[in-house]
Amino acid sequence: MGLIRLIKSKYSSKSPYLKEIIRAYITRNEGTDKKSYPNVINLLANDICNSKCTMCNIWEQKLDFEITPIELTELLKDPLFGEVTGVGITGGEPTMRDDLPELYKACCESLPKLGGMSIITNAIKDEHVIEQIEKVNEVLSGYGKDFSVMVSLDGYGDVHDKHRGREGNFESALKVINHIRHNTNIPLAIGCTITKSNVYEVDALLDWMIEEKLYGRFRVGEFITRLYNNELLDEIRNFNEDETYHLSCFFHRLRYDYETSPMFKRTYDSIISVLNGGSRTIGCPYHEDGVVLDSKGQLLYCAPKSKELGSTLKVSARSIYDQNLDERSRIKSENCDTCVHDYHAPPTIEEYRPIINRWKWNALLSLKISKYTVPFFKRGKIADSVSNEKSVLIVGWYGTETVGDKAILASIIEDYKAIDKKTNIIIASLNPFITVRTMKELDMKAKVIAFYSREFVTYASNVDEVVMGGGPLMEMDALNIPLNAFLLAKKNGKKTIVYGCGIGPIFNQKYEKVVKKILSLADVIKLRDSKSVSLANKLVPNKSVSLNGDPAYNYVINQSTHFKAEKKDKILACFLRDWSYEYARDLSQEEFEKQKKDFETNLANGIKKVCQKRGLKPKFYSMHTFHIGGDDRVFYRRFLSEHFQGIEYDFEKRPSTVDMVLEGMVSSEVNLCMRFHSVLFAQTLETEFYAIDYTGGGKIKALLDDHNNLDLMYSLQDVAKDQSFCFK
Ligand code: SF4
């Protein structure tokens, strides 16, 4: 009952989640093998296409027999289709059939429970496509049925044209999109298929869709028998480690920042799982609710993996369906677990169990509640504890780490390993897949656990030391991470260390109290800068606080021996970031927008001028490539499209790593640094660099001041004011 109350308090009765959970609970004992009949048909209008997509070979097919509207009208009267409420028409390219509206009419005439229909089009022949859509809409309106359109777009501009093998397709698709949204009431969505070729271009498409207020869905290209693509091994699901990681971050962004439907959020969770070698976590309508009817009248259980079951023109569809259930069982046992296709069924209670579990731990470890819950947590026992070696749990904002945070983490681990290389390192992460990747990049070993989990409580209670590793103890709710880790450690008599953190900014007393509590629970406090030390001394005057510098410094020093460039490239390496309102609290929103615009314009001109003067090409690197914390590539795409049209530049689109940044810095002639740790890296590597202080005299100024490098600093406000700004 307690859990239900918790869910209710978090998700009101109107929440789709709560309704879904209740439905899933009620239907939990209904097996998927019961004899039920489809309520959705995927109708393939034809088997030819005027695209030449990289992930499909239908375009090689020649026009062959196609079921007629009269034949379709007849066969849809079969009892198999008596419960059908929705029909999606695809192809090939369905609009290539001149009698397409007649196919829609056939469905309306023969399916007694039909509610709505849809179409997916490549929109290559824009005028013809618009004409066809208008006609279909008229047919469906006449029958009082819903209609929706999905237009395929796999990238912005040329990217789409290359992916679809048709020059001008982006423009033609845009004409169709604009016609539908400006001249009709037909619901519209964009559909993007991701393959090896467009993997690094999908974010740009999403940015554009957000700007254009277009809704769309993203799918990973799958081997689909009816698309004749089983041989396209180079293109389909052939992602290397970097690409897989990049896509996982992208689907995470879609899931948390873009998609609002719980159903599609679950689909994106499932895609992340399959991409990373896990199982499909979402059900599929083709297990019982859907069926495929191809353009020759053949019935299939599902488009990707089913064999043709038989011709509905010759034999009753229902008997074909009933007599081939072995094929459906085969698909389920052989294919479904790893199928990444974006079909989705309502969730089962099993699927919700981990979600409910996470909600529970989110609540139990929240800043508001944990002071009441932590005293009651049982210590537990570490399940896989086999050695008596020292164990250290590192906590922080891991799971959202920037390149700077990665260097901090590496440095802390190196410090522990230098004392005893057998030390077991455990890292609590908000998004374990991010931190697992970080450890791979750093070539270090650590166990990564989820912060919001029972496992975290067990480790924090049992390890020898708990370390708050790097990052600022500042005004934010995520202070619950070090607070809970320290509360659990102290409750069980373990050592606690604040290691290389900054203190502040803190404006609100509530957060000041939490920071004070964390510091008072710490046995050792080592801070990264003198300003933080004096703040800590005020908060906990009886504690010993030492100044140890930013831990990232040591790691960069150690790594720098591997990155000595023989020859500098004629490159200005830029490590910029978006300037957000949190750094301009003294301005009104309007003043902030103006200052930001002026800053970016003058900065862009400054970059162009210095490049021209010194014969350099700008290259844009990211210090952070995950959407939580601000993916720098999102900023760059906007900045570059606004200010660098027609200018030669390089833009690193891959997920950033410490090595990538260090290599970029030492091999370029000059570095332009804005992200805090890019300044620290460039300074530590003793490169030539310019720094932009966006913190209003905060941490960047403090860092440069400590090293007598203030003459290399340009304040954001000064750049914004100076229309003729140029780097010295
Ligand atoms: S193979 Fe994929 S599309 Fe086919 S039934 Fe399984 S999950 Fe659904």
Give the tokens for residue 83: 């419960």
**Total domains, the chain:** 3
Residue 72 lies in a domain: yes
Mean pLDDT within 249-256: 96
The CATH number covering residue 400 comes to 3.40.50.2000
Residue 618 lies in a domain: yes
Q: What is the pLDDT of residue 19?
A: 65
> 53 CA distance to ligand 1 centroid (A)?
22
The alpha carbon dihedral of 209, 210, 212, 216 has a sign of positive
For a mutational test of ligand 1's pocket, the pick from 42, 284, 351, i.e. the residue with the most ligand atoms closer than 8 A to its C-beta, is 284
> 500 CA distance to ligand 1 centroid (A)?
49
> Is residue 450 located within the same domain as residue 331?
no
> Is residue 50 located within the same domain as residue 69?
yes
Q: What is the pLDDT of residue 12?
A: 43
**pLDDT over 80 at 129, yes or no:** yes
Q: What is the pLDDT of residue 387?
A: 65
* Model confidence pLDDT, tens digit, residues 688-716: 999 999 988 878 888 898 889 999 999 99
* Model confidence pLDDT, tens digit, residues 579-590: 998 888 889 999
The CATH number covering residue 652 comes to 3.40.50
> 147 CA distance to ligand 1 centroid (A)?
25
Mean pLDDT within 533-545: 96
The alpha carbon dihedral of 151, 152, 156, 158 has a sign of negative
Mean pLDDT within 386-393: 84
How many residues are there in the chain?
728
Residue where one domain finishes, among candidates 536, 555, 574: 555
> N- to C-terminal Cα distance for the chain?
67
**pLDDT over 80 at 2, yes or no:** no
> 337 CA distance to ligand 1 centroid (A)?
8
* Model confidence pLDDT, tens digit, residues 653-690: 999 999 999 999 999 999 999 999 999 999 999 999 99
**pLDDT over 50 at 237, yes or no:** yes
Alpha carbon nearest to ligand 1 atom 1, residue: 336
- Of 263, 201, 232, 386, the closest CA to residue 16 belongs to 263
- With a Cβ cut-off of 6 Å, ligand 1 is lined by 284, 286-287, 302, 304-305, 331, 335-336, 339, 341, 343
> Is residue 538 located within the same domain as residue 593?
no
Could you give the percent of the chain with pLDDT greater than 90? 81
> 302 CA distance to ligand 1 centroid (A)?
6
Q: What is the pLDDT of residue 489?
A: 97
Cα angle for residues 23, 29, 32 (degrees, 5° grid): 95
Per the DSSP assignment, residues forming a β-bridge with 668 are 569
Q: How confident is the model at residue 564 (pLDDT cuts 50, 70, 90)?
A: confident
Residue 462 lies in a domain: yes
Q: What is the pLDDT of residue 718?
A: 96
Q: What is the pLDDT of residue 587?
A: 92
Q: How confident is the model at residue 721 (pLDDT cuts 50, 70, 90)?
A: very high
> Is residue 635 located within the same domain as residue 595?
yes
| Ligand 1 atom with the shortest distance to the CA of 302 | 4
Alpha carbon nearest to ligand 1 atom 5, residue: 286
Residue 2 lies in a domain: no
For a mutational test of ligand 1's pocket, the pick from 280, 330, 332, 336, i.e. the residue with the most ligand atoms closer than 8 A to its C-beta, is 336
Q: What is the pLDDT of residue 271?
A: 96
> Is residue 189 located within the same domain as residue 270?
yes
- Of 303, 259, 299, 312, the closest CA to residue 284 belongs to 303
Q: What is the pLDDT of residue 386?
A: 56
> Is residue 535 located within the same domain as residue 584?
no
Q: How confident is the model at residue 35 (pLDDT cuts 50, 70, 90)?
A: low
Q: What is the pLDDT of residue 356?
A: 85
How much of the chain is helix, strand and coil, in % rounded to 5? 45, 15, 40
Residue 521 lies in a domain: yes
Q: How confident is the model at residue 456 (pLDDT cuts 50, 70, 90)?
A: very high
* Model confidence pLDDT, tens digit, residues 58-87: 999 999 899 999 999 999 999 999 999 999
The domain in which residue 664 lies consists of 565-721
* Model confidence pLDDT, tens digit, residues 159-202: 999 999 999 999 999 999 999 999 999 999 999 999 999 999 99
> Is residue 325 located within the same domain as residue 425?
no
> Is residue 337 located within the same domain as residue 457?
no
Q: What is the pLDDT of residue 242?
A: 92
Q: How confident is the model at residue 7 (pLDDT cuts 50, 70, 90)?
A: very low
Query: Strand 545-547 to strand 713-715: parallel, antiparallel, or no bridges (unpaired)?
Result: unpaired
Q: What is the pLDDT of residue 15?
A: 54
Residue 3 lies in a domain: no
| Ligand 1 atom with the shortest distance to the CA of 339 | 2
**pLDDT over 90 at 596, yes or no:** yes
Q: What is the pLDDT of residue 1?
A: 34
Q: What is the mean pLDDT of the chain?
A: 92
> Is residue 454 located within the same domain as residue 590?
no
- Of 69, 62, 64, the closest CA to residue 89 belongs to 69
Mean pLDDT within 625-631: 94
**pLDDT over 50 at 8, yes or no:** no
Please give the single-letter amino acid code of residue 305: K
User: Measured between alpha carbons, how far is 270 from 278 in angstroms, rounded to an integer?
Assistant: 9
**pLDDT over 70 at 5, yes or no:** no
Q: How confident is the model at residue 134 (pLDDT cuts 50, 70, 90)?
A: very high
> Is residue 704 located within the same domain as residue 611?
yes
Residue 272 lies in a domain: yes
| Ligand 1 atom with the shortest distance to the CA of 284 | 8
The CATH number covering residue 133 comes to 3.20.20.70
**pLDDT over 90 at 443, yes or no:** yes
Give the tokens for residue 33: 């093998």
Q: What is the pLDDT of residue 385?
A: 62
> Is residue 114 located within the same domain as residue 262?
yes
Q: What is the pLDDT of residue 207?
A: 95
Residue where one domain finishes, among candidates 555, 589, 624: 555
Please give the single-letter amino acid code of residue 198: N
Mean pLDDT within 210-233: 94
Q: Which long-range contacts (CB under 8 A, 24 or more apart) does 55-59 make?
A: 55/163, 55/193, 55/195, 55/221, 55/227, 55/229, 55/232, 55/235, 55/236, 56/224, 56/227, 56/228, 56/229, 56/232, 57/227, 57/228, 57/229, 57/231, 57/232, 58/91, 58/92, 58/227, 58/228, 59/165
Name the DSSP class of 63: P
For a mutational test of ligand 1's pocket, the pick from 286, 325, 337, i.e. the residue with the most ligand atoms closer than 8 A to its C-beta, is 286
Could you give the percent of the chain with pLDDT greater than 70? 94
**pLDDT over 60 at 14, yes or no:** no
Q: What is the pLDDT of residue 3?
A: 36
How many CB atoms lie under 10 A from the CB of residue 192?
20
Residue where one domain finishes, among candidates 525, 555, 585: 555
For a mutational test of ligand 1's pocket, the pick from 335, 338, 344, 348, i.e. the residue with the most ligand atoms closer than 8 A to its C-beta, is 335
> Is residue 572 located within the same domain as residue 551?
no
Residue 320 lies in a domain: yes
